Structure 1
Amino acid sequence: MATDGLITDPMLLSVMDAAARARQQSLAITDLLAEYHAREDSPPEESSLDEQLALSKQQKLLNAHLAQLRGLNRKAILSVRTTKQETAEARQEIDSLHLQLQNLYYEQRHLRGEIAGCEGYNHRFNELPMIPVEEFLEQRPEYQSSSQHDVTIARIDDERAARQKLEDERQQLLKKKEALVKETTAKKEELGKLDAEIEKWLIGQESVRKIFEAREKATMAKS
């Protein structure tokens, strides 16, 4: 048969094998009937009895083949229904897995975009005038085996501590400056007062000198 090589399922093969046997049995009965009709020289009673026995035997065989064929056909139909149900369930599972895969793909693409954005983000700590990594590791050897993230955090903390120290020193210098400004202002005020007293004293001395000069001129004029 042309479909022999196309069918590989054992159930369908058994159905086809049973159908083939039933077909062969039907052909055998047909040939037997044709043979009986062709023989016209046999005694009617003897021929009729032999034909009936032979035909009955062949019909029993045919009925047995047909019964087997119907049973196998019923099993094949049930098997096909089961296979269809299993196929539908498998297809639904595949569709669900495909949808999950698509969701994972979209999530992966989103996360890759977020990672790329984070990697390309211009962090402000990059603008900090921190000491180079090599110099920092020489000063802090305990971070030699640390990750880049931990080293970066340590460098930022080190820069913050250094800036805090400088800020404390600046505040102390400002306080010293304010104290010196106050001291200088006080000394200027004191010097201003002293200058005023000296100015008054000089003015007084000038008045005394003029009085003595006037008296001296008067004395010389009398003599």
Structure 2
Amino acid sequence: MDLAVEESAPLAMGSFFDALLQARRDGHLLGQQAFSSGGCKLLELKASHRRLCESTDELRLAASSECRALDQSSLQLQNLYFERQHYEKEIATCRGWASAFSDEQIALVSEEEFAALEGKLAEEADPHQRMLNRLNHEVAFRGEHVKRLDAVKAQRDALAADVAQKRSTVAGLEAEIGKLLAAAQAVQQQYGIGGSGPAAGESLQQQADGDAPPPPPAPPVDVPMQEAGA
């Protein structure tokens, strides 16, 4: 109700009663019974008006509360619509992604294998929860295989590094052997030991490689016998 009407209503009611009393004094009313009946009706009307105002205030408060609840529900509905659109876009993106592997290559383990590996998880009655259990098992299963693959790769890299180090060591040894052969050839040429030229170098090379035949035995040396007492 308008505030101006609520403030002017008591004044208008008082003016009406004053006019009613004045009419009674002037003799314009039919009698006391009619006057009393009219006053009672007016009092009932006033009480009804008060109850109506109170109920109107309660309805206004209830309507305000319902409006807030409606606004909150509308906001939640808009959020759900937005979330659904987001998930639909993500699903479309995932379905449109071109994978290098086929669905058979990246498929989950079969129901029978899952039941054999995880009996309790496979007995779930809810299909959604059972699928979640399968996905969790698949993540753990593939994670274990990834760890094994990483271990094998680390072992392969370690072996490759070891082989490379040994090759480097062998290459260094070959260089040192070449220097030793050159020094040996120079000594042979200087002192005339074992001949000279390419044949001597080849003999030394064969000895270094372990392919040369064993040298011939040395001839016996005759030592003269000294006379006794000499």
Relative contact order higher in (CA < 8 Å, ≥ 6 apart): 1
Larger helix proportion of the pair: 1
- Of structures 1 and 2, the larger Rg is shown by 1
TM-score normalised by structure 1 residue count: 0.50
TM-score normalised by structure 2 residue count: 0.48
